[in-house]
Structure 1
Amino acid sequence: MGTVTDEHHTQAPASVTGRMATTQRYVLWIAVLASFVAFLDGTIVNVALPAISDELGGGITTQQWVVDAYLITLGALILVAGSVSDAYGRVLVLRIGLIGFGVASLAIAAAPTAEFLIVARGFQGAAGAFLVPSSLALITSNFTGSAQSRAIGIWTAMTTSAMIVGPLIGGILVDFVSWRWAFLINVVPIGVTLMMLARGGFHDTRHPDSSIDWIGAALCTFGLGGMVYALIEQPDRGWGSPAIWVPLVLGAVLFLAFVLRQRTVRHPILPLDLFRVRNFWTGNVATTFIYGALALNGLVVVVYLQEGAGLSATLAGLASLPMTILMILFSSRVGALSGRWGPRFFMTVGPITMGIGALLLLTVGTDFSYWWQVLPSMIVMGAGLALTVAPLTSAILGAIEPERSGIASAVNNAVARVAGLIAIALLATIVGGALDLDGFHRSAIVTAVLMIAGGITSFFGIRNPERSPDEA
C-alpha cells in the first residue's frame, strides 16, 4: 500500500521534535474531518427523511432508497479505494473525494424530484468511499507505535460520534431552515479540509504498477444493488413478481462472481486470506450484527419519533444525545482498558447491553413519554456502544499485520456499511409495511436480537491477544 508523508518529517517519532508533533496533529485533524463528513451524512439524513418524503413523495420506499443509494456505492467502492489511492496517490484521491462529495451534496440540496435525489445520493456515496481509507492511510503513514494506536482510537471515536450526532444536526436544520440544508452543511468541513491539505505540504507516494480491479468493483456494486432493489421493492410487488426475483437472482450471481473473482485476481480488493485470521473474521461477523442493528435503530427511532410520536425534527434528533455524551466520556477509557485486558469481555458485554437497551423501547406506547420510555433506552444503549466500538476496532485491526491495516480497516468499514444497507432494505418487511407503534416494537425486537447475536459471536469467537510478561 502506498504512503503519504510530509517529506520533511518522514517517519520521525513524535518525540524527536515539537514540529513533528504539530504535523501529526495536523494530519489527525485532516483525517478526522475528511472521514467525519462521510459518516455524518450517512446518518444526518435519517431525521430529514419525513420532510423529504413529504415534499418529494414516495413514502417509506423513497426513505429506504435515500439511505441505501448512499450505502450501496459507499460499501462497494470503499474496497477499491485503497487500490486507487496506491495508483494515483492518497492526497490526490482524498481531494477528489472531498470535491466529489461537496458537488453531490449541492446536487442533493437542489434536487427537484425523489429520483434525482436518490441518484445524487449514489454519487455522494461513491465520493465518500474514497474519503475513509485515504484518511486512515494518512494516520498509519504519519504515526507509529503507541502514537498510531492512540490516533486511530481518536479517529474511530470521532467518526463513530458523527453517526450519532448526525440526527441532532439534521433535526435542527429541518425544523429551523430546510431539510436541504442538512446536506449543504457538508460544504464547510470539506472546504476546511481542502485548505488544510493545501497548506500541509504533503506529497504523494504512488505505485505505478498498482492494479485496480474495476471489474470486481462493478460486480460488487451491481450485485449489491440488485439484491437491495429486490428487498426494498418486494413488499409492494411480492416475491412472485419477475421485477423482484430477477434482480434478486441476478444480484446474487453477480456478487458471487465478485467473491470468486477475488480468489483469482492478482490484486484483490477484498483479500479473502484476511478471513483466515480468527479475530478478523469473527470481528467482522460481530460487526455485521452490531452495525446492522445500529443502522436499523438509528433510522427507526428518529423517523417514528416524528411520524408516530409527533415530535419535531430537532427533538427527535436530540433523542440520541445521551448516546453521544456517553461515547465521548468513556470511549477512549474503554479503549485503554481493552488494550490492558483484551477486547473479548467488552465485545461481549457491550452489544448485549445495547440489546437490553433496545428492548426497553418496547415500553413506548400510545401515551408517549420520552423521559420514561425512550431516555432509559438511549442511556443503556449509549453505555453499551461506549463499551463496544474501540475494542471492536482494536480487535479487528490488531489481528492483522500493521502494513495491511489500511485494507483491513476498509474491509471492516465495508462490512459495517453493507450490514446497514441490508438492514434498511429490509425495513418495510421488519415493520410490517408501516412504521406505526407495532412496527416500531417489531424493529426494537429485531435490533435487540441482532445486538445480542453480536455479543454471543464475540464471546465464542474473539480471543484476547497474549500479553507479554511486562504487561501482565
Structure 2
Amino acid sequence: MSTHTSPSASATGSAAGSRTSSGSRRWWVLVVLALTQLIVVLDGTIVNIALPAAQQELGLTDTQRQWVITAYALAFGALLLLGGRIADYWGRKRTYLVGMVGFGAASAFGGLAQSGTELIIARGLQGVFAALMAPAALALLTVTFTHGRDRNTAFAVFGTVAGAGAAVGLVLGGVLTEFADWRWCLLVNVPFVLVGLVAGMILVTESKAEGDNKYDLWGALTVALGLGSLVYGFTRAEEGWGSAETIGFLALGAGLLALFVFIESRVAQPLLPLRVVTDRVRGGAFLIQMIVGSVMIGAMLYLTFHLQIVLGFPPLEAGLATLPMTLAIMVTAPIATKLLPKIGPRVLLIVGPLIAAVGLVYLSRITPDGSYLVQVLPALLILGVGMAMLFVPIQNLALSGVAPHDAGAASATANAAMQIGGSIGLSVFTTVYAGAVAGVEVVDKASQFTAFTTGYSAAFIATAVALVVASILAVVFIRGSKESLLPTGDEKAVHLG
C-alpha cells in the first residue's frame, strides 16, 4: 500500500476538514448533506407514480412520458464530472449552495409546467443543478469526516439515505398524487431546498482545492456528449437494438468516451484524473455502484407497475406497499455499520448482492391473481436486507484513499455511476420485459395481465442476474485487508493497490 498526496491540496483539504469537523457541528453538517442526497435520489422516482396523472393533464405522448424520467438521469449523469471539478476548484460550499438554488427553481418551474415540453425541460434543469449539488455534498462529507469510526458511521448514514431515497420517493409520490396533485411531486422540493440552503449557509465551512486549477473543457465536452449519446442510444434500444439510430448513438457514445480517456491521459489538469478510476478497489466500487443504480431504478419501476396495474393499488397504497423494503434497509444498516470495521467491506459487498438477488428471484414468482402479502412483501424484506449491506460500505469504499484535491471528481464519479447505471439498466431491463411480453398471446384482460406479470418477472430475473455479477465483481476487485480498505488513522490519500 502506497501513499500519493498533492502537498498543497492535502494541506488545504486537511485544514478544511479539521475546521468543518470540529465538535458536534459536523453531525449537523451530516444531517444537511444527507437531506441533499435524499432530495437528489428521491427525485429519480417521486414522479413515477405521478406520471399517469401528469400524462392525462398535459396530454403527454408515451415518448414524452418516458423522457420525463430520462431527462433527469441524462442531464445528471452526463454533467456530474464537470460538477465535481467545479466543486473542487470554485469551492464546495459555494457550488453546493448554487446547486440548491437552481434545483429549487427548476422544481418550481416543473410544478407549474403547462405542457409536456416544459415539464421535460424542467426535469432536465433539475438534473443539471443536481450535478452541481450532489458531488459538492459528497465531497464536503469526505473532508468533514476524514477517518475512523465517525467516517464509517457518516458514510453509512449517507449511503442508507441514498438507498432508501428511491423507495421514499415512491411513497411520497403516492401521498402527494392521491391527496394533493401530481404537481406537488415537484413543488415539494422547494421547502426542502430552503431548509438545506439556510442550514448549509450556517453550518458548512468552505473548502476547495488550491493551486493551479484549470478547467478541462475538452474533457468536459467529450464526456458529457459521450455519456449523453450512450444513454440516449440505450433508451432508443427499447424500440430495437438493431436500428441504425440505436447503433449509431451507442457507437458515437463509445467513441467519445474513448476520446475522453485519451484526453484525460494527456492534459495537466484532467476533469477526471485517471488515478481515481484505475485503482482496482475504487474502480470495482464504481462498477458495483452502476449495477446498484440499475437495479434500484429498474426493479422499483416494474414493482410499481405491478402494484398499480395488476394488483389495482391506488397511488398511495402503491407507494406504501414499497415501504417494507425501506424499513428493512433502516433496520439492517446499523447492524452492517457495526460489522463493517470487524469484517471489512469485502464480505458485505459479496454477500449483500446475493441476498438481494434472492429477494428479486422470489419477486419474479408473481402471478396476476397473487397476493401482495405472499408474493411481494417477503421479497421486499429480503431485498432490503441485501441492499443495506451494499449501501453501508459502497460510498465509503468508492472514496477511500482519494486525495482532497480529487474529492469532487471522485464523488462525482460515484454519483455518475449510479445515474448512468440506472439509465442504461432501465433500457436493458425494458428490452427484456418487452421480449417476454411479446411471447404471450393477448386475447382478453386476463391474458393481458398474464403478459404483464410475465414481463415483470423477466425484468426481476434480469436484475437478480445483475446483482450476482456485482457479487462477482466484489470478489475480483475488492481485495486487501480491512485496515487497508477503510481509513482508520490520519492518512489522507492512500491509493490502494
TM-score > 0.5, shorter chain as reference: yes
TM norm structure 2: 0.85
Identity across the alignment (%): 31
Q: 1:452 is matched with which residue: 450, 468, 487?
A: 468
Report the alpha carbon displacement of residue 400 of structure 1 after superposing the two structures with TM: 4.2
For residues 421-432 of structure 1, the aligned pairs below 5 Å read 421-432=423-434
Matched, 1:463 2:463: no
| C-alpha distance after superposition, 1:309-359 (max 9, x if no partner) | 221111111122111112212213202312211122211111011111111
Matched, 1:171 2:174: yes
C-alpha separation in 2, matches of 1:359 and 1:444:
7
| C-alpha distance after superposition, 1:240-276 (max 9, x if no partner) | 44x4443333333223222222222222222222333
C-alpha separation in 1, matches of 2:65 and 2:34:
28
Aligned CA distance change for structure 1 residues 62 and 81 (closer, same or farther; 3 Å): same
| C-alpha distance after superposition, 1:403-440 (max 9, x if no partner) | 64443332122111110011123343121176822211
C-alpha separation in 2, matches of 1:404 and 1:430:
38
Q: 2:270 is matched with which residue: 268, 271, 275?
A: 268
Q: 1:198 is matched with which residue: 193, 201, 205?
A: 201
C-alpha separation in 1, matches of 2:106 and 2:31:
23
Q: CA RMSD in A?
A: 2.8
For residues 430-449 of structure 1, the aligned pairs below 5 Å read 430-432=432-434, 436-449=452-465
Aligned CA distance change for structure 1 residues 61 and 309 (closer, same or farther; 3 Å): farther
Report the alpha carbon displacement of residue 6 of structure 1 after superposing the two structures with TM: 13
Q: Residue 20 of structure 2 contacts residue 26 of structure 2 at CA under 8 Å; is this kept in 1?
A: no
Report the alpha carbon displacement of residue 284 of structure 1 after superposing the two structures with TM: 2.0
Aligned CA distance change for structure 1 residues 150 and 235 (closer, same or farther; 3 Å): closer
282-291 or 49-58, which deviates more: 49-58
| C-alpha distance after superposition, 1:119-138 (max 9, x if no partner) | 22111111001112211232
C-alpha separation in 2, matches of 1:232 and 1:144:
39
SS of the aligned residue for 1:42 comes to coil
Q: Residue 3 of structure 1 contacts residue 138 of structure 1 at CA under 8 Å; is this kept in 2?
A: no
Letter in 2 for 1:142: T
Letter in 1 for 2:194: G
Letter in 1 for 2:281: N
Report the alpha carbon displacement of residue 388 of structure 1 after superposing the two structures with TM: 1.5
C-alpha separation in 2, matches of 1:31 and 1:289:
24
Aligned position for 1:17? none
Q: 2:311 is matched with which residue: 292, 309, 317?
A: 309
Q: Residue 262 of structure 1 contacts residue 269 of structure 1 at CA under 8 Å; is this kept in 2?
A: yes
Letter in 2 for 1:276: T
C-alpha separation in 2, matches of 1:238 and 1:288:
21
Q: Residue 88 of structure 2 contacts residue 406 of structure 2 at CA under 8 Å; is this kept in 1?
A: no
C-alpha separation in 2, matches of 1:363 and 1:265:
52
Matched, 1:160 2:163: yes
SS of the aligned residue for 1:44 comes to coil
| C-alpha distance after superposition, 1:95-118 (max 9, x if no partner) | 110011011111211222323222
Q: Residue 89 of structure 2 contacts residue 210 of structure 2 at CA under 8 Å; is this kept in 1?
A: yes
Aligned position for 1:114? 116
| C-alpha distance after superposition, 1:437-468 (max 9, x if no partner) | 22111111111111111112212332242549
The count of residues paired between Structure 1 and Structure 2 equals 462
SS of the aligned residue for 1:79 comes to helix
173-182 or 456-465, which deviates more: 456-465
Aligned position for 1:21? 23
Report the alpha carbon displacement of residue 238 of structure 1 after superposing the two structures with TM: 6.7
| C-alpha distance after superposition, 1:298-318 (max 9, x if no partner) | 111113321232211111111
Aligned CA distance change for structure 1 residues 103 and 322 (closer, same or farther; 3 Å): same
Report the alpha carbon displacement of residue 396 of structure 1 after superposing the two structures with TM: 2.8
SS of the aligned residue for 1:96 comes to helix
412-421 or 201-210, which deviates more: 201-210
SS of the aligned residue for 2:49 comes to helix
Q: Which runs of 5+ in 1 are unaligned?
A: 15-19
Aligned CA distance change for structure 1 residues 26 and 212 (closer, same or farther; 3 Å): same
Q: Residue 3 of structure 1 contacts residue 90 of structure 1 at CA under 8 Å; is this kept in 2?
A: no
Q: Residue 94 of structure 2 contacts residue 206 of structure 2 at CA under 8 Å; is this kept in 1?
A: no
Q: 1:50 is matched with which residue: 46, 49, 52?
A: 52
Aligned CA distance change for structure 1 residues 399 and 138 (closer, same or farther; 3 Å): closer
C-alpha separation in 1, matches of 2:471 and 2:249:
33
C-alpha separation in 2, matches of 1:276 and 1:264:
15
TM norm structure 1: 0.89
Matched, 1:224 2:240: no
Aligned position for 1:362? 364
For residues 28-427 of structure 1, the aligned pairs below 5 Å read 28-58=30-60, 61-146=63-148, 147-200=150-203, 202-203=205-206, 205=208, 207=210, 209-236=212-239, 239-241=242-244, 243-398=245-400, 400=402, 404-427=406-429
Aligned CA distance change for structure 1 residues 148 and 375 (closer, same or farther; 3 Å): same
Letter in 1 for 2:270: P
Report the alpha carbon displacement of residue 166 of structure 1 after superposing the two structures with TM: 1.0
C-alpha separation in 2, matches of 1:221 and 1:277:
23
Report the alpha carbon displacement of residue 376 of structure 1 after superposing the two structures with TM: 1.0
Report the alpha carbon displacement of residue 63 of structure 1 after superposing the two structures with TM: 3.9
Aligned CA distance change for structure 1 residues 37 and 294 (closer, same or farther; 3 Å): same
Aligned CA distance change for structure 1 residues 57 and 442 (closer, same or farther; 3 Å): farther
Report the alpha carbon displacement of residue 224 of structure 1 after superposing the two structures with TM: 2.3
Aligned CA distance change for structure 1 residues 341 and 405 (closer, same or farther; 3 Å): farther
Report the alpha carbon displacement of residue 229 of structure 1 after superposing the two structures with TM: 2.5
Q: Residue 282 of structure 1 contacts residue 458 of structure 1 at CA under 8 Å; is this kept in 2?
A: yes
| C-alpha distance after superposition, 1:163-208 (max 9, x if no partner) | 2211100111111112111111111110011112333474455747
250-259 or 447-456, which deviates more: 250-259
SS of the aligned residue for 1:80 comes to helix
C-alpha separation in 1, matches of 2:60 and 2:454:
21
Q: Residue 68 of structure 2 contacts residue 119 of structure 2 at CA under 8 Å; is this kept in 1?
A: yes
Letter in 1 for 2:288: A
Letter in 1 for 2:455: G
Report the alpha carbon displacement of residue 297 of structure 1 after superposing the two structures with TM: 0.4
Q: Residue 58 of structure 2 contacts residue 116 of structure 2 at CA under 8 Å; is this kept in 1?
A: yes
SS of the aligned residue for 1:166 comes to helix
Letter in 2 for 1:296: G
Matched, 1:11 2:14: no
Aligned CA distance change for structure 1 residues 279 and 86 (closer, same or farther; 3 Å): closer
Letter in 1 for 2:289: T
